[in-house]
């Protein structure tokens, strides 16, 4: 309940305060969910604000269906809330992961698992090794996300579009959202920007760069005989190659395996068509991408139904409600992670999260010039080239978890988020099942010269 003030003054007039929390998380995607749950489990009152009518961000609304980039060889390098979520999905039959015995590089395992997308996509081995990753159902992700935030007693406000940061004297104190009820303010002692597009930090005046990458209109096809489709691929490879090449030409941009299995029988996930030269921050571009993507999907569907074994009865089950935007604004924080840092697996003394084998320093979540704001997720402080290879869902969740715990430590200690003692943050994360990583023993890793 608003107590100190029931209204905030805004250039557009007085705005009613709809909530006050210790921690305000803006954006209910993977990073935001993890930040909110971690903050609440560490004793904070938490409000989570999301523009859409569901949680999950690109993982659910963008129908991005493989939780990956979370293994360093055989070691599972992203743990914590992400693993809890996968375990819950698996128990519901809404995620599929390869068992430990199948996680290796050999032809039989490739044939068994590669159409699930659960392989190390960064490996140069042929075939690429099957590893721990999870193909999941997007509605299942929403369901489990709801369970996690409800159990942690997070106050969730869906249908609320962030529109402006409330900043006074260089310190963020909350945000203003647009909704069916009109404008309202939500206040927080610490704010986490988990919008993926850096909406909050940009509005608060933090420095950023604008990156770009291809966008994708993800869709699913139902009514597929996946056994027949795979038989054709492996037993008639020449004929398969001809049809597969034509399908990719129609799509006009896709990964090599343009369709993948899902936990739902007869339903495949198509992470395509990829399209270039669209700006994920521009209404006209977002609109154009929807029209162009759907046109290509319809053409692909007609071709697949007419020509591809296993696809004869297929139908378009759905097109993701959210356009697949990979990169827009990127924070220029206290430290900017480079491609070399990621590729060379540079260890940072202030590492608070990991991807497959690379590290996220706490400084890459701290904006310059705005106090009490943390940034977690795909818009973290990185160069465009670095973000392209370090933005998958599990590491974004690891960053989110670190942000939630950092907020708790700051408020417990009565210090600013930029002054949190990083060793204490790392210890707390480990104690709570997350894995910020230890200084690695491998020679390939470059130990940072100075903290
Ligand atoms: C086509 C595609 C395929 C991908 N494939 C994979 C894959 O197979 N595996 C994988 O791990 N990763 C994949 N990724 C990457 C991954 O989906 C994202 O990097 C990840 O979801 C980032 O999580 P996030 O929480 O930082 O951001 P997002 O998932 O973008 O979540 C941001 C949240 O903030 C909300 N939000 C944004 N603006 C506002 C606002 N103004 N007001 C209120 N709420 C707001 C959004 O609605 C959303 O819920 C893919 C991405 C794309 C686009």
Q: 62-90, pLDDT tens digit by residue?
A: 999 999 999 999 999 999 999 999 999 99
Q: Is the CB of 52 under 6 A from ligand 1?
A: yes
Q: Is the CB of 255 under 6 A from ligand 1?
A: no
Residue to mutate, 27, 83, 162, 319, ligand 1, most ligand atoms under 8 Å from C-beta: 27
Residue to mutate, 269, 297, 392, ligand 1, most ligand atoms under 8 Å from C-beta: 392
Q: How confident is the model at residue 440 (pLDDT cuts 50, 70, 90)?
A: low
Ligand 1, residue 378: give the atom nearest the CA. Answer: 26
Which residues is 9 bridged to in the sheet?
Answer: 14
Q: Is the CB of 193 under 6 A from ligand 1?
A: no
| Predicted local distance difference test score (pLDDT) of residue 5 | 72
If you measure from the C-alpha of residue 66 to the centroid of ligand 1, how many angstroms do you get, rounded to a whole number? Answer: 13
Helix axes 393-413, 422-431, angle to 10 degrees: 120
If you measure from the C-alpha of residue 241 to the centroid of ligand 1, how many angstroms do you get, rounded to a whole number? Answer: 32
Comparing CA positions, the residue from 278, 265, 261 lying closest to residue 217 is 278
Assign 109 to helix, strand or coil: helix
Residue to mutate, 393, 401, 403, ligand 1, most ligand atoms under 8 Å from C-beta: 393
Q: Is the CB of 49 under 6 A from ligand 1?
A: yes
What are the tens digits of pLDDT across the range 255-269?
999 999 999 999 999
Ligand 1, residue 394: give the atom nearest the CA. Answer: 11
How far is residue 190's CA from residue 416's CA, in Å, rounded to a whole number?
9
Q: Is the CB of 355 under 6 A from ligand 1?
A: no
How far is residue 40's CA from residue 60's CA, in Å, rounded to a whole number?
22
Burial zone of 425 (CB within 10 Å; 0-12 exposed, 13-18 middle, 19+ buried) = buried
CA distances from 98 to 133, 175, 239, 254, 434 (A): 7, 42, 29, 24, 22
Comparing CA positions, the residue from 198, 261, 213 lying closest to residue 390 is 213
Residue 44, phi then psi, degrees to nearest 5 = -90, 150
| Predicted local distance difference test score (pLDDT) of residue 39 | 99
Contacts of 401 (CB under 8 A, 6+ apart): 34, 35, 37, 38, 80, 81, 82, 353, 429, 432, 434
Please check whether residue 70 is in contact with residue 394, taking contact to mean a CB–CB distance below 8 angstroms.
Answer: yes
Eight-state DSSP code of residue 337: B
How far is residue 282's CA from residue 274's CA, in Å, rounded to a whole number?
18
**Core vs surface per residue 88-126: b (16+ CB within 10 A) or e:** bbbeeebbbbbeeeebebeeebbeebbbbbbbbbeeeee
Average pLDDT over residues 359-381: 98
Q: Whose CA is nearest to atom 24 of ligand 1?
A: 377
Pairing label, strands 329-331, 208-210? antiparallel
What are the tens digits of pLDDT across the range 172-188?
999 999 999 999 999 99
Q: Is the CB of 325 under 6 A from ligand 1?
A: yes
CA distances from 451 to 361, 369, 447 (A): 10, 21, 10
Q: Is the CB of 216 under 6 A from ligand 1?
A: yes
Residue to mutate, 64, 67, 142, ligand 1, most ligand atoms under 8 Å from C-beta: 64
Q: Is the CB of 280 under 6 A from ligand 1?
A: no
What are the tens digits of pLDDT across the range 118-145?
999 999 999 999 999 999 999 999 999 9
Comparing CA positions, the residue from 197, 160, 203 lying closest to residue 49 is 160
Q: Is the CB of 62 under 6 A from ligand 1?
A: yes
Average pLDDT over residues 148-161: 98
Residue 257 tokens read as 């395996």
Model-wide pTM > 0.75? yes
Burial zone of 272 (CB within 10 Å; 0-12 exposed, 13-18 middle, 19+ buried) = buried
| Predicted local distance difference test score (pLDDT) of residue 447 | 46
| Predicted local distance difference test score (pLDDT) of residue 11 | 83
How far is residue 6's CA from residue 315's CA, in Å, rounded to a whole number?
52
């Amino acid at each position: 309940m608003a107590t100190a003030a029931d209204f905030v003054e805004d250039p557009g007039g007085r705005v009613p305060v709809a909530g006050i929390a210790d921690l305000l998380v803006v954006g209910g995607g993977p990073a935001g969910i993890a930040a909110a749950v971690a903050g609440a489990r560490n004793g904070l009152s938490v409000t989570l604000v999301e523009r859409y009518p569901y949680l999950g961000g690109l993982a659910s609304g963008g129908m991005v269906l493989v939780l990956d980039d979370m293994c360093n060889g055989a070691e599972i390098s992203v743990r914590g809330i992400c693993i809890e979520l996968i375990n819950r999905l698996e128990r519901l039959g809404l995620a599929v992961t390869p068992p430990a015995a199948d996680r290796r590089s050999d032809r039989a395992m490739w044939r068994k698992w590669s159409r699930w997308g659960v392989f190390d996509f960064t490996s140069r081995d042929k075939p690429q090794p099957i590893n721990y990753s999870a193909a999941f159902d997007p509605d299942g992700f929403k369901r489990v996300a709801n369970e996690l935030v409800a159990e942690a007693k997070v106050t969730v406000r869906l249908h609320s579009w962030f529109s402006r940061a409330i900043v006074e004297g260089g310190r963020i104190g909350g945000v203003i959202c647009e909704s069916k009820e009109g404008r309202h303010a939500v206040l927080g002692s610490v704010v986490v920007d988990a919008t993926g597009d850096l909406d909050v930090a940009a509005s608060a005046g933090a420095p950023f760069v604008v990156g770009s990458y291809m966008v994708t209109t993800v869709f699913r096809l139902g009514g597929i005989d996946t056994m027949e489709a795979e038989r054709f691929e492996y037993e008639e490879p020449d004929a398969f190659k001809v049809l597969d090449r034509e399908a990719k030409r129609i799509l006009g941009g896709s990964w090599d395996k343009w369709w993948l299995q899902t936990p739902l029988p007869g339903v495949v996930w198509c992470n395509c068509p990829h399209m270039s030269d669209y700006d994920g921050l521009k209404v006209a571009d977002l609109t154009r991408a929807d029209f162009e993507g759907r046109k290509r999907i319809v053409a692909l569907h007609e071709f697949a139904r007419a020509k591809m074994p296993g696809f004869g009865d297929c139908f378009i089950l759905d097109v993701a409600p959210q356009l697949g935007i990979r990169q827009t604004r990127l924070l220029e924080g206290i430290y900017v992670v480079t491609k070399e840092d990621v590729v060379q697996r540079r260890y940072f003394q202030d590492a608070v999260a990991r991807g497959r084998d690379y590290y996220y320093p706490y400084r890459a979540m701290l904006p310059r010039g705005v106090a009490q704001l943390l940034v977690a997720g795909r818009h973290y402080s990185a160069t465009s080239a670095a973000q392209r290879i370090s933005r998958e869902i599990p590491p974004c969740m690891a960053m989110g978890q670190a942000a939630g715990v950092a907020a708790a430590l700051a408020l417990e200690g009565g210090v600013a988020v930029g002054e949190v003692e990083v060793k204490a943050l790392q210890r707390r994360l480990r104690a709570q099942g997350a894995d910020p990583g230890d200084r690695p023993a491998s020679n390939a890793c470059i130990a940072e010269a100075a903290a």
